[in-house]
Amino acid sequence: MADRRGQTEVTPELLLRAYRIGLFPMAERRDADRLHWLDPPMRGIQPLDRFHLPRRLYRTVLGGAFEVRCDSAFEAVLEGCAAPAPDRPETWINRDIFRLFSALYRMGHAHSVEAWADGQLAGGLYGVALGGVFIGESMFSRARDASKTALVHLVARLRLGGFVLLDTQFVTDHLAQFGAREIPRLEYRRRLAHALTVPATFVPDPDLAPLSAEIALMRTTSRAPHPGG
């Protein structure tokens, strides 16, 4: 079915099918009225067993600077990711993205990880879980290290839940410091096909002790280089 803009209507079910074959949607800007499907020749991933946790951030995360929650303010995280910022005057999250991911959240496929400080949402991230793959979509910060803390907790939860692939779509300088890297499209599709068969479980609120142990394990097993880390 086509909408009034002549574009086939994107439903949550269609979006999930697209993810399963390696596609993901973006809009050109926040007020755009069309979505585009992306399938880049090089795909960003974060190896879950090679997550580099810098010492300073390790102290921040375990020091309790932020209260971390999952799925308690999903749409607020979407809004935070969609809002312009000094280093990001334009975003790709338009009303269709907001509609679709809100639906995926209600269906149990989309999740948010949130960093709270003094009762206020300081930063967070969101993405989609399918089988043993988590497709990270976007993140934002209103306080130093807020989104980084959310990312550390995401990786810990994915490792505890048995996930085997964290798809970052692209690799930015922000993600590269944690060990994210690019792989060719065909290699990504091979990993994706395997990950979709893995019966993983997104861990929303694990007990503090296993989560803290997992974060400590990330610090001791990190192998990705990071100057001054």
pLDDT, tens digit, 9 for 90 and up, residues 29-38? 877 888 999 9
State residue 128's pLDDT score.
Answer: 98
State residue 185's pLDDT score.
Answer: 98
What does pLDDT average to over the chain?
Answer: 90
Residue 122 near residue 146, CB atoms below 8 Å: yes
Q: Which long-range contacts (CB under 8 A, 24 or more apart) does 171-178 make?
A: 171/44, 175/44, 175/46, 177/52, 177/54, 177/226, 177/229, 178/46, 178/51, 178/52, 178/53, 178/151, 178/224
The pLDDT > 90 percentage for the chain reads 75
Listed by start position, the domains of the chain span 41-90+108-221
**Looking at residues 48-59, what average pLDDT do you find?**
93
SS3 126: strand
> In the predicted model, is pLDDT for residue 25 greater than 90?
yes
State residue 226's pLDDT score.
Answer: 45
pLDDT, tens digit, 9 for 90 and up, residues 99-156? 999 999 999 999 999 999 999 999 999 999 999 999 999 999 999 999 999 999 999 9
CA distance 113 to 178: 17
State residue 4's pLDDT score.
Answer: 42
> In the predicted model, is pLDDT for residue 8 greater than 70?
no
State residue 2's pLDDT score.
Answer: 40
Confidence of residue 205 (pLDDT cuts 50, 70, 90): confident
State residue 198's pLDDT score.
Answer: 97
State residue 9's pLDDT score.
Answer: 83
Confidence of residue 1 (pLDDT cuts 50, 70, 90): very low
Q: Domain 41-90+108-221 class?
A: alpha beta
State residue 11's pLDDT score.
Answer: 96
Which letter does DSSP use for residue 85 in this model?
B
